[in-house]
Chain A
Amino acid sequence: MKLTTTLLATSALTLAGSAAFSEAHMADTMTIVSWGGAYSASQQGAYHDPYVANTGITVVNDESSGEAVAKLRAMNEAGNITWDLVDVEAADGIRLCDEGLAIEIDHDTMLAAAPDGTSASDDFGSSIVSDCFIPQIVFSTTVGYRTDMVGDTPPTDICAIFDLETYPGKRALAKKPLANVEWALLCDGVAKDDIYDVLATPEGQDQAFAKLDTIKAETIWWSAGAETPQLLADGEVVMGSTFNGRLFSAIAEQNQPIGMLWDAQMLDFDGWIVPAGLPEERLARVMDYLMFATDTQRLADQAKYISYGPARASSAPLVGNHGELGIPMAEHMPTDPANSTNVFVTNYEFWADYRDDLDAKFQSWLAQ
């Protein structure tokens, strides 16, 4: 209901805006869709507020990123796109691009170059996982544990999640195959470089599920990233996987007795996509915003508010201190050299192919 009202209001404003400012050729309102909570707040502080201060436009925030793919498809079929810019995970960015729901971006001409002149596509590097995707942050899925429940030998190795002898107790893992099956194979002795080749075979998938079987009875499966920090704080689980920013906030901001692993963390990207089919004025506004909000300084600014790493290489040296706690943020970034000695970069192509199949097997395995 609230959403509908916001959407209606937005479209009304956009209409009124475009009529009044037609000379400017840019809409004076834009609806930006993101995840809500601390993450949206970091974008508000680093991107929206300075942009609004420069231009005087209105930014309407919508917190629908969780259902962005389905909603964009519905909007597209209805021929009424009410969103201007959408924050999605890389995998969803690929999906939206495949479905023709997002426009392709020429990163070098549409985005700002780095201060030293490096082109945007080189600066973003491998984080450009799809022609439609404009990366913002690097985040990782990693494991946190209760410091008071692991005895004198806190885990240092991702395989601790499968080690019920040393670390008895419940674990929290995501209710989806991503990350779980990779870790299962890694801890079952498969070499890191071979994991996706092995996972593409039925035998490899069976091997991963067999490894997960060993901890199935001791696992609580989460569907929202906020569940693990809560389960850890309540002492329901001894360790669990979640996004590194969630763990940072539980450890540094809420002082919970939680520690985190930086081992075999699954690196992933989050970024913008521009919906296909926007009218010219709104598109012009979005592109103007993107040129500003994805430049080197802005991406570095976001790290003041949240412990996710900027997707541009040139932003890393500019990362400063936490906005409220005043602690240096660089060492909490998943991209920090000390944290990324052993990382796992999600293979998007593999997951685009095998996501549906593996998910069906995973859900069936869970139900057994």
Chain B
Amino acid sequence: MTDATGPMVAADGRPLKASLNRALRRQKMRALLLISPLLFFIMITFIIPIGQMLFRSVENQIVGDVLPTTVVALDAWSVKSGEAPGEEVFFALTQDLVLAAERKEHTRLGSRLNYEDPGISSLFRKSGRNVEVMGEGYAKQFDALDERWAETNTFSEILADPEWLADAAQVETAADMDRFEVNEDAATYLPRTVAAYTSFANYMIADKGKDPAKSKPWNTLHLALFEDLRAAPEITIASAYGDMLRTAAAAVPTFETETLSASFAKIDKDWLDPDVWSTIKRYSPSYTNGYFLNAIDMEKTVDGPAWRPEDQQIYLTLFWRTLLMSMTITISCILLGYPVAWLLANLPARTANLLMILVLLPFWTSLLVRTSAWKILLQQQGVINDIVVWLGLVADDNRLALINNATGTIIAMTHILLPFMILPLYSVMKTIPPTYLRAAKSLGATNWTAFWRVYFPQSVPGIGAGSILVFILSIGYYITPEIVGGTKGVFISNRIAYHISSSLNWGLAAALGTILLAVVMLLYWAYDRIVGIDNVKLGG
């Protein structure tokens, strides 16, 4: 907008462009303010929940949260070694599992990992029940050495920061205590015991509201202490317990030891199976592509993604079938709906209204009722088969299979979705002036040319709108396919529903849903490129 005489200016002397922009911006802001309640509402009730649900398709914090030290200890191990990991991993597992079992988180983790490797669910359930005995042997041997080891406050006296202890003595209820703090000596000489006691103390305070110094210590504390003393016998702790620790350190080499891997194997021999450990390791990161791989019939293996065995592949078939059948349904809706809509748009108002009620009546009837009605009509001993047998078209022992297969799904869903095709078609056709057809004919066009060259192009926006509605609705349908689809007529949504409500594998359901959403968006984009979304009309 600039030329040799400088920018154009408005009446107030500002450049016209800036002034115009400002006015437009204000208008836009006002428009945004007007829709902001709706926008806010949609964000809260629609976009955020859907986003959260879709996020579950990659979320996998549970392994790292429940087995934090095991996951770290497993870093050095590889399934290629062909054997179960060493004692240090089992030590970490004991510490993690005791806490997890107290919090009842181990079974949730078991269910999670069971999706990847059957058998892990009961492995964790059993182990959670028995893990508290691990280290009991050491607890008894420490007791025999000095009775103070069995007292509830010994560990906190040795390990706690004196300031924390003083603070802890001040609080009214244990639940108000600060998180456990350790003293420097203990942190240097007894790192494992400190880690074990910290999780014990924090669990007692935060989850139970109990004073850790008044709670019976877990056996895993003695186990950790044993390992610490065995690793570094030179203890120089100045507290009153220094001598007691040194005596213990001297006695530790004579202790009867316990092999943790053997104890775990006694609970369930699967703990010695490298595959179990490999599954834990593969799913230890906080985010995983495992669900997405499962959703396209692949699996996460040590050597990267690989196809599942053929007898477990199902999802790609289902995606493909869903798209194909949805398209078939859309096309049959167009073929059946177009003449009806034309009739509605061109008949006198009285008759058209009556016909409209016939279109809308099934629309108002319950989905289940309509689907069940199709069952009665289509089954082998049903009305339609009875009629064709009576007419002699097929033999009685060779009745048509019209239901519990893809045919059944297509028939029932075409019927159910037909109004979604007829209504937009009708409202678009209503706006096409009948004079155009007459004009075409008076200029010499045949009936067919007049329809095909003049009428049909004007009704395309209605077909577009109807097709999008029918296609997108049918892609997400699952009740009708479940009832009439048998095995060959079910959609991907039936599997999504199964994983949401029965198997509780929400991660996989979310991955399947995300893929379905992406496919629909892609098709929508393709439609926009080919036909143009402006060319869609829901009405006049």
Contacts and interface: CB of A to CB of B under 8 A. Distances in A.
Interface in B446-484: 482-483
Given A98-B107, A99-B108, A221-B486, A235 B381 contact: yes
A236 B379 contact: yes
B121 A352 contact: yes
B486 A98 contact: no
Interface in B307-365: 311-314, 317-318
A206 B488 CA distance: 21
B185 interface: no
A98 B404 contact: no
A152 interface: no
A346 to B, nearest CB: 15
A356 B314 CA distance: 14
A356 B486 contact: no
Contacts of B312: 360-361, 364
A236 B381 CA distance: 6
Contact of A234 (B104, B381, B404, B503): B381
A192 interface: no
A285 interface: no
B367 to A, nearest CB: 14
B interface residue count range (under 10 / 10 to 19 / 20 to 34 / 35 or more) = 35 or more
A194 interface: no
A352 B502 CA distance: 12
Contacts of B501: 66-67, 69-70
Contacts, number: 87
Contact of A367 (B108, B404, B487): B487
A347 to B, nearest CB: 11
B6 to A, nearest CB: 63
B104 A100 contact: yes
Size class of the A contact interface (CB-based, 8 Å): 35 or more
A356 B115 contact: yes
A103 B192 CA distance: 33
Contacts of B118: 353-354, 356-358
A322 B156 CA distance: 65
A341 interface: no
A69 B105 contact: no
B107 A236 contact: no
11 contacts: A70-B502, A73-B506, A99-B107, A99-B111, A100-B108, A209-B311, A220-B486, A353-B122, A358-B118, A359-B503, A366-B487
Top 10 nearest A-B pairs by Cβ distance?
A: A98-B107, A357-B118, A364-B314, A366-B487, A70-B501, A100-B104, A67-B501, A353-B122, A353-B119, A235-B381
Given A70-B500, A98-B110, A360-B312, 5 more contacts: A175-B487, A221-B487, A353-B121, A354-B119, A367-B488
Interface of B: 104-105, 107-108, 110-111, 114-115, 118-122, 125, 311-314, 317-318, 379-382, 404, 482-483, 486-488, 495, 498, 500-506
Interface of A: 66-67, 69-70, 73, 95, 97-100, 170, 175, 200, 206, 209, 220-221, 223, 234-236, 349, 352-361, 363-367
